[in-house]
Amino acid sequence: MTDTELMLRMRRGDEQAFAHLIGRFQNMLINYFHRNSFDRDDAADQAQEVFLKVWRARRSYEPRAKVSTYLLRIARNHCIDVVRSRRIRPGEVALEAASTAGSSGERSGSLADVLDSGALPPDLETIRSELRRELEQAVEQLPVAHREVWVLAELKGVRYADIAEILDIPVGTVKSRHHHAVAKLREILLGRPGMAAAVEEM
């Protein structure tokens, strides 16, 4: 059954269809919020809110766009609302988390430092979580417009054309923003000695 068929069934109040819809899109939405600097639990909570909005507004659904695009538009609006209501810019939540994580991490230095020191490299899981932390920090440094495109572009199955529709900008702009975002992340993440090798380890 296609996504749109599910949505149409759900519009008629089919709970089973709604359940399937959640199953299909939960990871997409949770990662959307997580990449927007919501921590794990918070990201799941916000994804839940989005699904609830979709369920409550099911009767007004019109099959005009791809379902994923439809959901992401709602998610994006929700994200902006939440961030406004919390009166902080997106990122500060994670920055707080990162700085507390950083204070414990600083003793051992960044991953690149650890690798440089020639000490026993930490195990794979440590490398992974370190990289995750460094990625979060790198993403914080992107301009908001670039970052927004990057977050969407990294979601599975989301194409440039979809992003253009979600953000209401031309496809060419999506492409160039994504290019700049990735180039910047490359500079931050792989610019230091040893990082490429650490990623290669994975």
Partner 1 sequence: MNVDCATATSHLVARQRGELPEDLHQAVEAHVAGCPSCRAVSQDLRLLQRVFGASEIAAPPRFAQRVLQAAGCAQSVETEALSRDELRRIMHDEWRRARAFALRARRSVRVLTLSVAFHAAALLLLAFLVVYQAQADGQRERLIAVEVDTSALARLDQAQVRSPESSGGELRIEREDLPPLVEPNPTDENPSSGAQDQPGLAGRLHRFDGLRLEEDPENPFVPIPRSTRIGQQPGLQAARGSRSERERILSEYGYASVTVVMDAIDDGLEWLAERQQPDGSWDVVAEGGHGDFTVGISALALLAFLGQGQCSAGPHPYSDVVERGVAYLEKRQETATGRIGAATAPRAMYNHGIATIALLENYGMVSSRAARPLPDGSAQRQLEQRRSCALSAFHYLLAAQLASDPLTAGGWGYTPDAWRSDTSVSSWQVQALFAYEQAARSQLTRGEHQALRRAFQGVNLWLTNYTDPATGRVGYDRRNGSLVGYRGLTAMGLTSSLMAGSPPDGALARRQVRRILDAEPSSDRYPTNRIDFCEWYYEALALNLAGETSPDARSWNRRLVQILLDCRIQQGPDRGGWPAVCRWGVDGGRVYTTAMAVLILQTPYRFHLSR
Site residues for partner 1 per CB under 8 A: 1, 15-16, 18-20, 22-24, 26-27, 30-31, 34-35, 40-41, 43-44, 47-48, 51-52, 55-56, 114, 117-124, 128, 131-132, 135-136, 153-154, 159-160, 175-176, 178-179, 182-183, 185-186, 189-190, 196, 199-200, 202
HSE of 48 in the Cβ direction (CA atoms, 13 Å)?
6
Q: How far apart are CA 17 and CA 79, in angstroms?
A: 25
Query: Considering beta carbons, is residue 89 or 186 the nearer one to partner 1?
Result: 186
Query: Considering beta carbons, is residue 4 or 31 the nearer one to partner 1?
Result: 31
- The identity of residue 12, as a single letter, is R
| H or E element, residue 92 | helix 92-108
Cβ contacts of 21 within 8 Å, gap of 6 or more: 3, 6, 7, 10, 51, 54, 67
Cα distances (angstroms) measured from residue 70 to each of 9, 129, 171, 174:
16, 32, 17, 18
Query: Considering beta carbons, is residue 12 or 56 the nearer one to partner 1?
Result: 56
Nearest distance from residue 10's CB to partner 1, in Å? Answer: 10
Nearest distance from residue 87's CB to partner 1, in Å? Answer: 25
Nearest distance from residue 12's CB to partner 1, in Å? Answer: 14
Query: Considering beta carbons, is residue 87 or 107 the nearer one to partner 1?
Result: 107
